[in-house]
Structure 1
Amino acid sequence: MENGEQKIFVWCNFSEGMNDAIIHGMMIAITLRKELCLFHLLDKRVHETIEIAEARLRGVAAKISPLMSTVSVKYFVKDQPIKLSLDQLAQLYECLVLVAHKVSVPQLLPVLEYAAFPFLFVSAKTNIEPIYKRIVVPVGYMKKCKDLALWASYLGRHNGAMIDIFTAEEGWQADQQVVKNNIFSIKRLYGKFRFPFQVVESHTSTWKLQKAALEHALGLKSAMLIVSASFKPTIIDSFLGLTERKVISRSEDLSVMCVNSQVDFYTFCG
């Protein structure tokens, strides 16, 4: 597989939901006009070999390539720790996002902290296109809100998606000013393009914003929610149900993108 071209990777572990993840990955790749890569790590528990895994992925790639005439399809098999693979996907292969089915959350979410690109967890089997036409971005006083908004802008620019800037309301004046500054920066970025967006006031604090954003997105029926992963949830987070794992588990057929809050993106969508 050649590097030098931005790519959409799909987590392929030959388990339930893999085909659904591939369909979503195809949708994202075609929309952003990026190469699609089917990615697999060897599973030593089933005595798998690279040759067997590559043959299986080659068969999948052969089936979907005719459906993606404008985008190339590749496959990628590695026999190494997932942490090392994530680093290579970013630095060597310019990964924009890793798409995976929600059944893979227990395996993938804990290693997101080592990734310089977001993970997109999906589950919908039908009506996939409308999901990426409506994006919900929670914006509180956290600096990482701008990265969530940046990724949403990719689908705004390339897919004409409507973006809801879902804002927090803070009791402390200093925190509320940070929220306003974040909203101003995001609106200034979005104003450079021609996709639709709107500010939606949540009337809730940043601590509860992720949960409120999920409820808002569920009310839209078809949407993608972008959240920031903290990896060190507090007791308050767990009590209020704000952890990323709980958000994903309650997201029904929404697609949920989780962004690493600890590192900057390695690759930006061109």
Structure 2
Amino acid sequence: MESLKKLVLIPWDFSEGAENALQHAIQLAEAGGNEIMLLHFIPRSAIQDFLTRKVNIKEIEAANKKFEEVAEATFQKYGVRPQTLVLEGHPKRIIRELITTANVNLIVAYHTYMYKGKSYRPSTLLKDLIFKDITLPFIIINTPPKHTHYIEIVIPVDYDRKFKEAVHWIIYLAKYYKCNINIIKPFLTDDGKKKQMANNIYFTKKMLDGVGIVYGIKTAKKKGSFEDEVFKFGKIIESDLILIMTDKYDYFVDAKREKSLEIPVMCVNPRVKKYQSFN
């Protein structure tokens, strides 16, 4: 029996931002042989969700009707006919259940999801979704893709021991998408931090050299914050993606920066038992 194709999930609020996320998802899905699912969720509070699972049938039917037009327009424009789904409930529960039951292995989201004038930050919903045996990545975007495929990827490296967990994703992206790897490290003065960062750099170089991946390493300027230097560097080289560990998201991307992101940010979680790639 043929195995189910994996899904790239897009939170869909029928906005231009969601359309931008779709364009990124199409690039990634085509390269990985994945299908695309558009999810429109009708939010409820955690208390409402706990007390009742009764849903607004009329609203769901209206959203499904709109989805028919979206699916057809997407097919006409991009040659891809996405799956669509409308669910009502608490957003975290909805996304969590989909990830564990619908073969979702990557989420691409616009930085804001709007519903009846209220805004939700998908990054807030996704940051703590870590599952047994699954390390699900997600990408937060603002603008459409710069290129027809991802070419330049920026990887900030620091002294955190957990950075080594990101090396798997560096190798995966470089080999699968044949993109260029640009590593940037902070300017440090603390001897202990410098030693740990040197260990991370040594480990990363050893792993990348071992599989024949070409990369560059740059040291950020002493002046200015490291997170600012990362995004400045990404802008200079016209980076298509910045890859970070999920627990570093708030450090690199605050709410203000998120709304003006010029470069998509991909978040990956430390492995639990095994990695979940998105091909």
Report the TM-score, using the length of structure 2 for normalisation.
0.75
Counterpart in the other structure of 2:190: 172
Q: How far apart, in 2, do the equivalents of 1:14 and 1:62 lie?
A: 14
Letter in 2 for 1:21: A
Counterpart in the other structure of 1:50: 60
Q: How far apart, in 2, do the equivalents of 1:195 and 1:18 lie?
A: 33
Greater CA radius of gyration, 1 or 2? Answer: 2
For the Cα contact (< 8 Å) 1:91–1:266, is it kept in 2?
Answer: no
Counterpart in the other structure of 1:216: 233
Q: How far apart, in 2, do the equivalents of 1:191 and 1:90 lie?
A: 34
Instruction: Map 1:19-168; keep pairs closer than 5 Å.
Output: 19-42=19-42, 49-65=59-75, 73-104=82-113, 106-116=120-130, 117-125=136-144, 127-129=146-148, 132-168=150-186
> What 5-or-longer segments of structure 1 have no aligned partner?
none
CA offsets, 1:97-125, max 9 Å, x none?
21122344852122223323333122333
For the Cα contact (< 8 Å) 2:5–2:103, is it kept in 1?
Answer: yes
- Cα offset, 1:214, TM superposition: 1.0
Identity among equivalent pairs (%): 20
User: Alpha carbons of 1:158 and 1:231: their partners in 2 closer, same or farther (altered >3 Å)?
Assistant: closer
Q: How far apart, in 2, do the equivalents of 1:128 and 1:230 lie?
A: 28
Counterpart in the other structure of 1:197: 215
Instruction: Map 1:229-248; keep pairs closer than 5 Å.
Output: 229-230=246-247, 242-248=252-258
User: Alpha carbons of 1:250 and 1:148: their partners in 2 closer, same or farther (altered >3 Å)?
Assistant: farther
Letter in 2 for 1:226: L
- Cα offset, 1:76, TM superposition: 2.6
User: Alpha carbons of 1:108 and 1:231: their partners in 2 closer, same or farther (altered >3 Å)?
Assistant: farther
- Cα offset, 1:68, TM superposition: 6.6
- Cα offset, 1:81, TM superposition: 1.1
SS of aligned partner of 1:191: helix
User: Alpha carbons of 1:143 and 1:35: their partners in 2 closer, same or farther (altered >3 Å)?
Assistant: farther
- How many pairs are equivalent? 257
For the Cα contact (< 8 Å) 1:161–1:195, is it kept in 2?
Answer: no
SS of aligned partner of 1:49: helix
Q: How far apart, in 1, do the equivalents of 2:169 and 2:61 lie?
A: 35
Aligned residues: CA RMSD: 3.5
> What 5-or-longer segments of structure 2 have no aligned partner?
45-55, 114-118, 131-135
Deviation larger for 81-90 or 141-150: 141-150
For the Cα contact (< 8 Å) 2:154–2:239, is it kept in 1?
Answer: no
- Cα offset, 1:262, TM superposition: 11
Q: How far apart, in 1, do the equivalents of 2:211 and 2:178 lie?
A: 10
Deviation larger for 155-164 or 140-149: 140-149
